Amino acid sequence: MTNCSGTRHLSFFFAVALLVAGNFSVRAEEASSSKGYVQNEPLSLSKSSHAAYQEMDQNSLLAVFPLENLSGNAAPTNEIRRQLLDHLKGRGLHILADEVLEGFMVRHRVRYTGGLSREIGQTLRGETGVKGVLIGSIELYQGAYPPKVGLALRLVSTGEKPIICWMDLASRGGNDTPGLLGLGLIRDDLVLLEKVIAKTVKSLDGYLSNSRGKDEKDGSRIPMEGRFRPKKFFRSRFFAASVAERPPQVAVLPFFNDSSRRHAGEIVRLHLLGVLVRQGNSLVLDPGEIRVALLKSRTIMEGGPSLPQGDLLLYMTETDLIFYGSVKEYQEGMGPRGVAEINFSCQILDPKSKRVIWSSISYNKGDGGVFFFDVGRVNTVPAMLSQMIEKLITQIFGPSLKVSVAKSSRDSFAK
């Protein structure tokens, strides 16, 4: 009886072990399917590239361009810029006087303020001593309840190439954190604007003082959940070879806007730029330089660049990777119960090998996967888009991509 009982116990434990192993293998197969998340092997690269080229600090002279309104409706751009200047000066940063900046823009007929080209940047540096230009875009502005504000701000070098050194995007909705009995609701759009500007300026000051701390928690930051991963993707086996030799220099083209929302393609592009700069996987050219290259070559693209157009961009900007895509759906939820929705695709072209090395489709709704008490609900498209782009870049480059920067390259950009 004792031997029989011992055999039964052994059989039971053996069956449990087989069940656990089988369950583990099934989950592993599910994780490796094309519909799930495949963990990329990290490439053997080292230090953050844009940080290595940093020559600016809190004593550097900066210029603040007039803000670009991408909100799709009227927004108090002058008031927002005034508050931004007050916050910058309150942090002790040195800002070029508006009279000097206006005189420069009139003399050189600078009409486009949504980006910085190499020629304008170097001329501005030579005449005024400005080392960096702050370029801001209003992504979202809704004054009616619940108010919603979204702001993108980036710092572009006026050195040899207009490399984006720092970038931050912040968006808030007045009903992001309602709290108990609605005590956390924000009904005044100017109060919300103050919080968004304070967050971006604090991030910039941390960059210039080289004292970056942990990301400040606010209502726009939501957990990095699986629902924000790309729904479908393709990663070429030639991808690693395209970025292995040196830190890739990246150009992000305007996304083709196939939605009813004005400037939707530019907003997706800004979020892609922001995540690329923040993660430090590559050298990111400012859209102003890409715009000049497209205008000089008289290139018109609908849906993405052709191979000859990729050759032109490679020749004119020395670009290693070209990001492009399209926006199919972009809906800001209106009113307290409005649902945010975004649907976009992203591709990467390697102009040297003439191959598309990445393609993906991402879409999401603000109430997706939300079942109880609106926990996890996202009220603005920019807040949701930030998480989706972060997941996308992690999927593309892997979780721990590092970039090695040669000293000669670092010195050339720092001049």
Three-class SS of 155-192? EEECCCCCEEEEEEEEEEECCCCCCHHHCCCCCCHHHH
232-235 and 148-157 as β-strands: parallel, antiparallel, unpaired? unpaired
Q: pLDDT above 90 covers what percent of the chain?
A: 44
> Does the pLDDT of residue 411 top 50, yes or no?
no
**Domain-by-domain residue ranges, the chain?**
49-211+220-414
Contact 342, 360 (CB under 8 A): no
Q: How far apart are CA 291 and CA 271, in angstroms?
A: 18
* pLDDT of res. 288: 93
SS3 204: helix
The answer to whether the beta carbons of residues 93 and 62 sit under 8 Å apart is yes
To the nearest 10 degrees (0 to 180), the angle between helices 287-296 and 307-317 is 120
How far is residue 67 CA from its own chain's centroid? 18
pLDDT band at 240 (very low <50, low <70, confident <90, very high): confident
Query: 70-79, 203-212, 325-334 — which is least confidently predicted?
Result: 203-212
pLDDT of 156 > 60? The answer is yes
pLDDT given for residue 299 in this prediction: 75
User: What is the distance between the alpha carbons of residues 146 and 176, in angstroms, rounded to a whole number?
Assistant: 9
Closest CA to 176 of 376, 389, 388: 376
Which pLDDT band, with edges at 50, 70 and 90, does 366 fall under?
confident
Q: How far apart are CA 168 and CA 235, in angstroms?
A: 28
Domain 49-211+220-414 has CATH 3.30.300.30: no
pLDDT tens digit sequence for 265-287: 999 999 999 999 988 778 899 99
Residues shown for the chain:
415
Provide the H-helix boundaries in 61-112: 77-90, 98-107
**SS3 assignment, position 7:** helix
| 33-66 CB burial, b ≥16 within 10 A, e <16 | eeeeeeebeebebeebbbbbbbebeeebbbbbbb
- How many Å apart are CA 227 and CA 108, to the nearest integer? 47
Question: What tokens does 356 get?
Answer: 């598309």
Report pLDDT for 168. 95
Report how far residue 163's alpha carbon sits from residue 337's, in angstroms, rounded to the nearest whole number.
40
In the numeric block, the tokens 């926990």 are attached to 375
Per-residue pLDDT, 6: 47
Amino acid of residue 68: E
Tell me how far apart the alpha carbons of residues 391 and 379 are, in angstroms, rounded to a whole number: 19
Question: For the residues of 236-252, what is the DSSP string, one character each?
Answer: -TTHHHHHSSSPPEEEE
CB 135 within 8 A of CB 114: yes
Per-residue pLDDT tens digits for 20-42: 333 333 333 333 333 333 333 33
